Structure formats: C-alpha cells, structure tokens
Structure 1
Amino acid sequence: MRHLAAVLSLLLAVALRAEAPADAPVAAPLAQEAFAALLTRDLVTHFNLEGDLQLEFLRPWTPPERVARDWQVQITEYPSVAASALLLRCRILADGQPLGETTLTLRAALWRDAWVARQPLTTNTPFDASQLETRRVDLLRERDALPAAVGDRSFNFVRGVQAGRLLTWRDIARRPLVKKGEMVEVSAADGMLVVTMKALAMQNGAQGEVVTVRNLDSKKDFSAFVIDENRVQVRF
C-alpha cells in the first residue's frame, strides 16, 4: 500500500507538471532587486520621468515571509516631487492578496545625458550641437541641467557659457521669429474667409507665443500667435 501511494503521488505530480504552462511563474520570495524594480516602474510612470532612475534603500529592508507567483507594489503616498531623497508609503500584494503597508526612505538618482560646452559659447548665437558634448549626470541633483534631447536651430544661446560647463535651461531660449519694431503679416480666418494685413510687432516672440501687434491704420494694439518668420495669426 505504501508503495502504491508513492506511485500515485508521483503520477499526480507529473500530471500537474504537464498541465502547467512551460513559462508559468514559479512561487518565490520577493527579492530586494525585484521590489526596487517595481517601485522604479511606478515612480517613473507617476512622475513621467525620462532617464535611468536608480533607487537605493537607506534602511534595511526585510522581505515578506512568504512566496508568491505574482508580486505587485502599489505606492499609496507619493512625495510632492521627484527628488534625490524620497519618503513614500506602499502596499505589497502577493498573488493579489495585500500584505499590509510599509514606509520607505530611499535615495534616488535619475541618470541622463546632458549638454556640456565643448568651447566657449557666445550670447545670441544659434544653437549648434557641434559646439557641445554630452555628459551623464544625475538630473535630481543637477536639476537645471539641459538634457541632450533638447535643442535645435530654433533655439539661441542667450548667455555666454565657458568651455566645460553644463548648459542649463537659462542658457537657451527659442529664437524669436517676430522681432519688436518689425513689420509682420497678420492673418485671421473665419470659416473659408481669410483676411491678411500688415502690422507692427510691439515685442519679440518665438513660435507659438502670443505677441502684441499694432494696427497701422487705427493704431490699436491686439494679440496674435506667432506661426512663422514675421507671420502671426489672430485666433477667435
């Protein structure tokens, strides 16, 4: 009988193994690396972060005393902004069952390529990537650093920058397509009817910005959107 029970147990185990998908997850404890990966994914989505977010636990973390096939983490209290020091509260779920909440203290770094001046940059010159190089920086510490994904010929350098210095958002600005004191073409559309006229720009403006222009006949000022070089549009 004992031999028969052992055989039946073996046959049952083989049958269950055959029914399970080859790639079915195996029940396992929640490792710290996997926990950090779940937190990272949630934080990247919540704060809409771009770059490589890395987290470090500042206090010892003890994994739950159980195993599960599916581990999930739900952050229940976020900090107001992403920063190099994070305090958050989260809930851990094992196969859909909550295991309670815990408070975590983390050190965070968001690594991304940023622009560095290869040579001295001159004020009011067009943005030129050939004068720059990239450096990997932590944007949670270098918060003003200009990411290397930003910048094209629609920008100007608006401040002098020494060689070797990180560029910041204050070092560039959109190149004005409309300049104060110059004539611009104003267009206004109402259905199929389009009217154009000339006006005087009362301020500088980059593409998409709203500027004040002056009617040459009535001397009245009105607002319009910059759409191209010396062209603005009135929108109703």
Structure 2
Amino acid sequence: MQVVSPWRRAWQLGAVCFSLLWLAVGAFAAERVLGAPGAVPAAVAAATLELLPVAQVDGTGIFLHHLVTANPAATTPVIIPQIRIAAAPALSQTLTYSRAQVAEWLTRNAPELAASAWSGASQVRITRRLRALDETEIKQHLTDALQREYVKDRGELELRFVRPWTPVNIPDDPFTLRILDLPTSGVSASFIVRFELRTTQESVASWQLFLQAKIMKDVLVARSQLKRGTKLRDADLAQERRDVLTLREPLGAIATEDDTLELAEFVAAGQPLGARSVRVRPVVLRGSVAEAIIQDGALSVSIKVEVLEDGIPGQTIRIRNLQTKREFHGKVRNEQTILVSL
C-alpha cells in the first residue's frame, strides 16, 4: 500500500479548487456576454417594434397595427395603437413603405413609439384585402335590389343566370348593389340588367347580365268550370302558387267572401282568375226596365227607361226612353233608379 504524503495531498486539493474556480469565472463571463441560457441577445431585446414584410388593408385606410407589431422578445413591451397612417391603396395598386419611412412617420406623429432599434423586414408591401364573390351571393344581392326597387309587393322574385357567373375578387369591405339600367318593361321573364357594386369609398366594378325571372305569388285558380255571373263566394276556387309573369292581367288581393262580387267571364278548370274575371255584381241588368229621374235645376221628371247595359251604383250607363226611343246616359243610383242630369 502506497502512502501519500500530506504535502502532495494538499497540492492535489488546491489544483481541484483552482479548476472549479476557473470554470465558475468562465461561466460568469459567458453569461455576461451571451446572456443566460435561453435569453435574447441585447440588440434584439432593445428592438421594441417589428416591421412586417406584407400587409393587407381594407378601404378604411392603412393603420399602424397593419404594418408594425410589438416584438415579443422586447425588454419593454409596447401596445400598438390603431393610428391611421394613410389612405388605402386602390384595388390594382401596391404601396411600399421602408422601415425608415415608418420610423420617420412615428417620430412626427407618435414620438412616444419612436424606437432606436428595429427588427423585422426592411420594408413592408401593402395591398388591398380581397375576397371572392360567388354566384350565390351576387344573385341574392341582385334579387334583393330588384325586389325592393321594382317588383315590390307583386310577389316573390326568383332569378336564374342564363350564363354561369365566374367568381371575381372584390374588396373585403361592405358593399351595396345599385341597378344602373333595366328595360322599360321592368322585370320580365327574360331581361338584361346592368348593375354596379360600390363600397363606401369607391366603385368596385359594373356588370351586365342576362337573367330569367319568375315572380311567384298565391293566386285564385278555378278547380272546375265557372260560369259568368257566378257569385265569387260560391265559386269553386283554390289558392295556388303561380308565376304571375306568365299571367296577362293577374288578379290582385280580393275578398272571396264579398257578396257584391261575381265572375265577369267564363273560367276554365285550372285557369287562374285575372283582373277582368271578377267584377262588382250589377244592380241593373241589360234589358230591364228602371225609373229615370231627370233633373233640371229645381225641376224633376220621372220616366220609364230601358237599361241598355249592366251597371253598378255610381256607374254611367246607356238607357232608352220607352216612349220616344231616344237614347241618353244616366248614373245608376240603385236597383230601380237612374239619375239623368240635363
């Protein structure tokens, strides 16, 4: 067994302590230069603002938060306010701001955000934010505009594009559709419309389309043959949804229980009632005899006359004097009386 002298053991222990001290000093120096493990270099930490390489904006303008973001590694975090820098570029234009231009703008308009050190891109490229406009959306906007401005309460408008719509890119902004041109006949079964899309700041584009349309509405339809003179409340009718554009003179809203209404013409089974199909039931009929009161100032004469055409109260009809056979006109007062003014 080898015996180690005390002096040699002391020297070995001193050498170990010196090595450990040297390693500690080296680690401390590396931390001061490079930072602690996982730390951000000082040059990067000093940069509080980071310039983005690209930015997309809407029509409201270019704002600071579109171009610059706060550096998450900054020693002093900042909040980027929504400050408007400039107007948005046009749809087909691109704007480019360098880092120096943005820093200069901050110095003039927001000095509290001016940074001595930056990170990120050297310049930012700015374009408009776009989105696709498909056939479903443009058809809905067209339908709403035509319904509101032209069809109104005539029924529910349905549109079909004759040619498929190719999706187009438009600004990602709220827009309105404005009808520019429509045939004088208005909305018909086939027609051409020209329209424009506008945002609050600009006109996007205009198009011309060939459309096919239907105006659907619930109408009265005869379920069986109906004779002229049948009271409307007794007629065999049903409500069906039809395209009123295919009807010559569609019948408007009407009270089927009105006892004063009757059919003015023969109506075949399955045929919708038109405006001419219904009339107020006459109180005097053609060929009947009524009393005509002829008034001339304070003078009043009553004679018997032959009614030459059906009439309702307030309607002027032709009548004939039974004795002289002379024809003249009078206004129907009621079932028995016709007023004649000289």
Given the two structures, how large is their TM-score scaled by the length of structure 2?
0.50
State the Cα distance separating 1:71 from its structure 2 match. 0.8
State the Cα distance separating 1:96 from its structure 2 match. 6.7
Q: Deviations over 1:174-211 (max 9, x none)?
A: 32222234214558698xx8968555233222345431
| 1-structure distance, mates of 2:279, 2:185 | 28
The answer to which structure has the higher helix fraction is 2
SS in structure 2 at match of 1:44: helix
1:78 correspondence with 2:149? no
SS in structure 2 at match of 1:65: strand
> Is the CA contact (8 Å cut-off) linking 2:267 and 2:273 kept in structure 1?
no
Q: Which residues in structure 2 correspond to 1:14-29 (within 5 Å)?
A: none
1:174 correspondence with 2:280? yes
2:159 pairs, out of 55, 60, 73, with 55
| 1-structure distance, mates of 2:213, 2:332 | 40
SS in structure 2 at match of 1:140: helix
1:9 correspondence with 2:116? no
In the alignment, which residue of structure 2 is the partner of 1:141?
A: 246
Structure 1 pair 66/235, CA: closer, same or farther in 2 (3 Å)? farther
Q: Which residues in structure 2 correspond to 1:121-136 (within 5 Å)?
A: 121-128=226-233, 131-136=236-241
State the Cα distance separating 1:139 from its structure 2 match. 1.2
1:42 pairs, out of 141, 144, 149, with 149
Count of residues paired in the alignment: 217
Structure 1 pair 96/210, CA: closer, same or farther in 2 (3 Å)? farther
> Is the CA contact (8 Å cut-off) linking 1:57 and 1:106 kept in structure 2?
yes
> Is the CA contact (8 Å cut-off) linking 1:72 and 1:96 kept in structure 2?
no
> Is the CA contact (8 Å cut-off) linking 1:28 and 1:68 kept in structure 2?
no
Given the two structures, how large is their TM-score scaled by the length of structure 1?
0.68
In the alignment, which residue of structure 2 is the partner of 1:156?
A: 262
SS in structure 2 at match of 1:125: coil
SS in structure 2 at match of 1:39: helix
> Where does structure 2 lack aligned partners over 5 or more consecutive residues?
1-46, 51-68, 71-77, 85-129
In the alignment, which residue of structure 1 is the partner of 2:213?
A: 108
| 1-structure distance, mates of 2:334, 2:132 | 59
Greater relative contact order (CA < 8 Å, ≥ 6 in sequence): 1
